[in-house]
A = this chain, B = another copy of it.
């Protein structure tokens, strides 16, 4: 049996590092997105999202406006609201959400179908463009939202709506004669269906998800067939030379060995594959998940947990191709990677998955949002020279400063739901084995229902600034539990004390397994000194460079601390990195290292010359990558030349 995340209702986060980010969701992002969806933000693009639902519901006259997947705005908002209400009830917000759900229900067609784009624009074209139409993708997000809302509030209305839509999908797609033999152009519905199954027990939802995974990439490509239909019209004209690899439909899913195509599509699919591998105890599918995880994390992932090396098509490219200044590394893709890794950790009980999850959450994902919660990165480069990030150039996708919420937005609400559901990553519980996993070190507490009575766990830590974690367990049942405390891959001298006494533990797949027979306190401590990290020399972009890493955090140099032209800096890796607890970013450890700078003045004005410019000693300062670009526009670099 796998371990499972705790219900968010049972978790309270009160953490020096995370709480300020998590609180942004309720205090800032949910209200702001509500205004965006209602077209009340003057300088943001119009969303029209609620208006589309009103029109589809027949409450208003008008035309559909926005992207084909515009409905997902409301889905992701409701999902974040559902998560938020779970740990922080709010009557007013819940009432607003209920009204939105009423609206969605009104826009639902008699047979269960929900999609304002097709309902308004082309009711007869339903399911005719699975490749681009995003109906199943949108359905999936709505299902996830309904699941979260049900879990957060106990209210079934939205869940029932989505079950009815799921029923329609089950009736519509399948191998049977008369059904559509297709699959989604953007994976997501699989995750949604599995969540509905897990909440309702309705097995056909699970089987439908399995169908979508099993059918994908088998035989003649469904999307190419669709496009060859007479009169077929493209929604996105750039798809005229569609490559099935883009949507991971180029070969049967369980035969895939390398992460290909659009990174978000890929990791959402891998999440569903992991879920199905567990539910069906499908070893072949599990092996595919493991291969794909290995391929990503050993060959196609940035140090920051970013994935997707190409700005064009936001996609994976080839092994070790990890350029730093024109990559995509979409925030949503890292979120998907974290979701995939969490599933793999829970199924296998291996802590190494959580090392990657932690890396993604503490770096690429967190960098996606400003400290004030008001602007966002979609693209997360590891090196930025703002002057060269020009529109209408090869780097047009790279933004030097975070952008405001857009009318069509995937990353901001995805960050919101991730922060709002951070609790799912912190603990997992294996009910059968009575194993309580501590995956992330985040202060707060949780309640675990043990059947008869409940157990309580409290964590106190200043991680990642300090590597001590105090864990208090109360309400331990008579027959005890096993506390499974993750030993991070970067931890040295990991030890657990009970009072003054060091306790022995078994290293169980990277978790310190502690048999807990009675209430008690455990002091976990380890060393995770800042260190210089290098990349495999096959990563051509990083040869001769080092990154500064401390625990889960990747650091970067910023122009504001180090002057302009970060490419002219070298770091002396013979010297130790110095750690300083600073006031920056509300209190954070920053790093200093000795280095050298090429002296521009020793060069002159020539563009090329045989001259060798001088270097002067400098002290370099590095700050957490997650917090870059919170002090104005400037250069940034993760990988620094090694002297």
Which candidate, A19-27, A217-225, A605-613, A624-632, is the interface stretch facing chain B? A605-613
For A565, list chain B residues within 8 Å (CB): 537-538, 540, 543
For A319, list chain B residues within 8 Å (CB): 387
A312/B392 contact (C-beta < 8 A), A532-B610, A543-B568 known: yes
A610/B531 contact (C-beta < 8 A), A394-B394, A540-B567, A565-B537 known: yes
A315/B392 contact (C-beta < 8 A), A537-B613, A613-B534 known: yes
A393/B317 contact (C-beta < 8 A), A533-B609, A535-B607 known: yes
For A321, list chain B residues within 8 Å (CB): 385, 387-388
Considering only residues 511-544 of chain A, those with a C-beta below 8 Å from chain B are: 531-541, 543-544
For A388, list chain B residues within 8 Å (CB): 317-318, 321
Q: Convert A583-627 into 0s and 1s, putting 1 for each residue whose CB lies closer than 8 angstroms to a CB of B.
A: 000000000000000101001011111111100000000000000
Q: Residue A570 at the B interface, CB < 8 A?
A: yes
Residues B532 and A393 in contact, CB atoms below 8 Å apart: no
Q: How far is the CA of A415 from the CA of B82 in the complex (A)?
A: 64
Residues B612 and A534 in contact, CB atoms below 8 Å apart: yes
Interface centre among A319, A390, A568 (most CB of B within 10 A): A390
For chain A, give the interface size range: 35 or more
Q: Residue A310 at the B interface, CB < 8 A?
A: yes
Residues B600 and A533 in contact, CB atoms below 8 Å apart: no
Q: Residue A299 at the B interface, CB < 8 A?
A: yes
Number of copies: 2
For A543, list chain B residues within 8 Å (CB): 565, 567-568, 598, 641
Residues B237 and A603 in contact, CB atoms below 8 Å apart: no
Considering only residues 50-103 of chain A, those with a C-beta below 8 Å from chain B are: none
Residues A608 and B536 in contact, CB atoms below 8 Å apart: yes
For A394, list chain B residues within 8 Å (CB): 309-312, 323, 326, 394
Distance in Å from the Cβ of A577 to the closest Cβ of chain B?
Answer: 11
Contact of A536 (CB < 8 Å), options: B531, B573, B607: B607
Residues B315 and A537 in contact, CB atoms below 8 Å apart: no
Q: How far is the CA of A326 from the CA of B327 in the complex (A)?
A: 12
Distance in Å from the Cβ of A261 to the closest Cβ of chain B?
Answer: 9
Contact of A607 (CB < 8 Å), options: B301, B390, B598: B301
Q: Which residue of B lies closest to A605 (CB)?
A: B298
Q: Residue A354 at the B interface, CB < 8 A?
A: no
Q: Residue A396 at the B interface, CB < 8 A?
A: yes
Q: Residue A484 at the B interface, CB < 8 A?
A: no
Q: Residue A297 at the B interface, CB < 8 A?
A: yes
Q: Residue A303 at the B interface, CB < 8 A?
A: yes
Q: Residue A243 at the B interface, CB < 8 A?
A: yes
Q: Residue A313 at the B interface, CB < 8 A?
A: yes
Distance in Å from the Cβ of A210 to the closest Cβ of chain B?
Answer: 30
Residues B603 and A536 in contact, CB atoms below 8 Å apart: yes
Q: Convert A290-319 into 0s and 1s, putting 1 for each residue whose CB lies closer than 8 angstroms to a CB of B.
A: 000000011101010000011111010111
For A538, list chain B residues within 8 Å (CB): 565, 600
A606/B298 contact (C-beta < 8 A), A537-B565, A543-B568, A567-B540 known: yes
Distance in Å from the Cβ of A294 to the closest Cβ of chain B?
Answer: 10
Q: Which residue of B lies closest to A602 (CB)?
A: B537
Q: How far is the CA of A573 from the CA of B541 in the complex (A)?
A: 22
Q: How far is the CA of A317 from the CA of B386 in the complex (A)?
A: 12
Q: How far is the CA of A301 from the CA of B608 in the complex (A)?
A: 10
Q: How far is the CA of A310 from the CA of B311 in the complex (A)?
A: 13
For A567, list chain B residues within 8 Å (CB): 537, 540-541, 543
Distance in Å from the Cβ of A316 to the closest Cβ of chain B?
Answer: 9
Distance in Å from the Cβ of A547 to the closest Cβ of chain B?
Answer: 8
For A544, list chain B residues within 8 Å (CB): 544, 570, 641
Considering only residues 11-41 of chain A, those with a C-beta below 8 Å from chain B are: none
For A303, list chain B residues within 8 Å (CB): 608
Q: How far is the CA of A611 from the CA of B642 in the complex (A)?
A: 13
Residues A393 and B313 in contact, CB atoms below 8 Å apart: yes
Q: Which residue of B lies closest to A531 (CB)?
A: B610
Q: How far is the CA of A127 from the CA of B589 in the complex (A)?
A: 64
Considering only residues 358-407 of chain A, those with a C-beta below 8 Å from chain B are: 385, 387-388, 390, 392-396
The contact sample of 8 A-B pairs, CB cut-off 8 A, is: A298-B607, A301-B607, A319-B387, A534-B612, A536-B603, A537-B567, A540-B565, A547-B608
Extra inter-chain contacts (14) besides given A318-B387, A544-B641, CB under 8 Å: A237-B237, A243-B392, A298-B607, A317-B388, A321-B387, A323-B326, A323-B394, A533-B608, A533-B609, A537-B603, A540-B566, A543-B598, A544-B570, A547-B608
Pairs of residues from A and B, 4 with the lowest C-beta to C-beta distance, nearest first: A310-B393, A540-B567, A321-B388, A311-B394
